[in-house]
Amino acid sequence: GTTLGPLAPDIADLRRKAAATLLRNWRGSATVPTGTLYPHQWSWDSAFIAIGLAHLSPRRAFAELTALHGAQWRDGRVPQIVFNPAVPEDAYFPGPAFWRPLPRQGPPAGVSTTGLVQPPVHAGAVLAVADRHPGDAADAAVHRLYPRLARFHDYLFERRRVASGLVAVVHPWESGLDNSPFWDEPLGAAATALADDITGLRRDLRHADAGHRPTDDDYARYMGIVAAYRNRGYADDDLLSLPFCTVDPLFCAVLAWSEQALAELARRTGADPGRHDERARELTHQIHSRLFDPALGCYVALDARTGRHLPKRTVSGLVPLLLPDLPARRREALLATLTGPAFGLGSPPVRGVPSYDLTASDADPHRYWRGPTWMNTNWLLWTGLRRQGETRHAEHLASDMIRLVADAGFREYFDPVTGEGLGADHFSWTAALLLDVLA
Ligand code: 9WN
């Protein structure tokens, strides 16, 4: 039920093209985000991809997540990237060699990964796929995946906990919103470690416009932060001594949402849902009480090293719409921010929800997570709005998402005002999440 108006795009054609994009990016056991820029398997991409694959083949949707969890570390972490051994070392930077040595608590023998995580959308995705196709095959997949998902969440809750109950990320890449304005201050404080010519090392610039990507200075700092974590064997003791340690509202809200899904998956496998319910409640409470900024009308990130809030309006700060028990006044405040001048939902020409406050002096409609509209964050908001019973806003958002893709193709991100397609083309989660919105 979307409100597309008289010039409705050809929905059957969009569905066909979305399916073709996912097929094109399938590599036998998993899907790449896109063949050129990202030739390996990415963690949260696979979760979003599974949500879309559920509309084409539930078997493939579960296979996608099973492949990802096959690279799970012994300490429970599910890695940000699982490297495809058939792809040359220098096809992506930083490639497998940069992350080595992987520690003993790392991935199974012979599997190459990074040492970071990404937002844990996976349990929510597994529940969504299972609910779309109830039956023996889904039950079997849930039984197989539940212990893996639970171990990943155990890792996050036990090893990544800071500031009495919130869960931290130790690299901007872990937030999934790499160059988010949230990270300007903490990243500025982190030393750049590599003196080498970073431009020469970067592979992303061969496939995407430099003006649409993070800067060289960002990359130099990204590498320095990885090196510090790697040099201590990716150990999570004393997290605050790492060069970067922050709490991100999207990451925490997605974890709380997924932890609730995990409680339901536990019930279905006969495991005890109690500890999941408890963790979800506790984290939700912490997010609501510690991360909301009333002056900005949204949630904000926290620099765990300094204890300071990072007061910016980014799309991450709206994602707690996913959470239950949102007090009415809080919901009203978030909706006002969402539909106000900063994000412009429902105010043409703005289409979809941009990644950053449109009115901020440093907003850039082309640069990655500093302005453009992305399908995955829009899908999270669409899911949150529906959960809050905000049907009209949800329908508006869905029709914006459809229009963006109908006009510009299956791009990685979009100019929030002109709708111009940006970044890579043939982008998997754009296709996958469009299928879900169209269902
Ligand atoms: C680093 C794959 C990934 C997404 C991230 C997005 C981008 C990688 C990069 O691409 O990050 O993880 O090389 O820029 O920021 O959210 O998962 O699509």
Could you tell me the CATH number of the domain that includes residue 251?
A: 1.50.10.10
Q: Which of 45, 178, 218, 425 is catalytic?
A: 178
Atom of ligand 1 nearest to the CA of 92: 13
Does 174 participate in catalysis according to the annotation?
A: no
> Measuring CA to CA, how many Å separate 317 from each of 261, 287, 300, 305, 414?
21, 10, 5, 20, 20
Residue 307 belongs to a domain: yes
Give residue 347's pLDDT: 95
Give residue 7's pLDDT: 66
Give residue 2's pLDDT: 53
215-251 per-position pLDDT tens digit: 999 999 999 999 999 999 999 999 999 999 999 999 9
37-84 per-position pLDDT tens digit: 999 999 999 999 999 999 999 999 999 999 999 999 999 999 999 999
Give residue 1's pLDDT: 42
Give the residue, out of 21, 22, 25, 42, with the most ligand 1 atoms within 8 A of its beta carbon, to mutate for a pocket test. 42
CB of 95 closer than 6 angstroms to any ligand 1 atom: no
Residue 5 belongs to a domain: no
367, pLDDT greater than 80: yes
Mean pLDDT, the chain, rounded, equals: 96
Rounded average pLDDT over 416-424: 97
Atom of ligand 1 nearest to the CA of 81: 12
Give the residue, out of 113, 173, 248, with the most ligand 1 atoms within 8 A of its beta carbon, to mutate for a pocket test. 173
Closest protein CA for atom 16 of ligand 1? 176
Closest protein CA for atom 14 of ligand 1? 178
Residue 74 belongs to a domain: yes
3, pLDDT greater than 60: no
259, pLDDT greater than 80: yes
Please identify which residue in the block is written with the tokens 């982190």.
190
CB of 44 closer than 6 angstroms to any ligand 1 atom: yes
CB of 374 closer than 6 angstroms to any ligand 1 atom: no
Task: Give me the interface pTM, i.e. the ipTM.
Answer: 0.99
Closest protein CA for atom 3 of ligand 1? 42
Please identify which residue in the block is written with the tokens 């939700």.
284
Q: Which helix (H) or strand (E) holds 298?
A: strand 298-299
Atom of ligand 1 nearest to the CA of 45: 17
Does 158 participate in catalysis according to the annotation?
A: no
Residue 302 belongs to a domain: yes
Residue span of the structural domain in which 122 resides: 11-329
Residue 431 belongs to a domain: no
CA 128 to chain centre: 16
CA dist 253 and 256 (Å) reads 5
CA dist 430 and 40 (Å) reads 17
CB of 33 closer than 6 angstroms to any ligand 1 atom: yes
Residue 303 belongs to a domain: yes
Task: Output the CA 176–ligand 1 centroid distance in Å.
Answer: 6
- What total of structural domains would you count in the chain? 1
Angle at 25 between CA 122 and CA 130, to 5 degrees: 30
194, pLDDT greater than 80: no
Task: Output the CA 138–ligand 1 centroid distance in Å.
Answer: 29
Give residue 164's pLDDT: 75
Residue 143 belongs to a domain: yes
6, pLDDT greater than 60: no
> Measuring CA to CA, how many Å separate 290 from each of 257, 261, 336?
17, 23, 20
Q: Which of 174, 236, 357, 412 is catalytic?
A: 412
9, pLDDT greater than 90: no
Tokens of 224: 């320095």
Atom of ligand 1 nearest to the CA of 38: 2
CB of 45 closer than 6 angstroms to any ligand 1 atom: yes
Closest protein CA for atom 8 of ligand 1? 173
98-102, 163-167, 256-260, 357-361: segment of lowest average pLDDT? 163-167
Helix, strand, or coil (residue 123): helix
- Number of residues assigned to the chain: 439
CB of 38 closer than 6 angstroms to any ligand 1 atom: yes
DSSP per-residue letters across 198-255: HHHH-SHHHHS-GGGS--HHHHHHHHHHHHHHHHTTT--TTGGGSS--EE-HHHHHHH
CB of 176 closer than 6 angstroms to any ligand 1 atom: yes
113-138 per-position pLDDT tens digit: 999 999 999 999 999 999 999 999 99
Residue 390 belongs to a domain: no
Residue (of 408, 410, 406) closest to 421 by Cα position: 408
346, pLDDT greater than 50: yes
CB of 178 closer than 6 angstroms to any ligand 1 atom: yes
- Phi, psi torsion values for 257, nearest 5 degrees: -60, -45
Please identify which residue in the block is written with the tokens 């919901």.
331
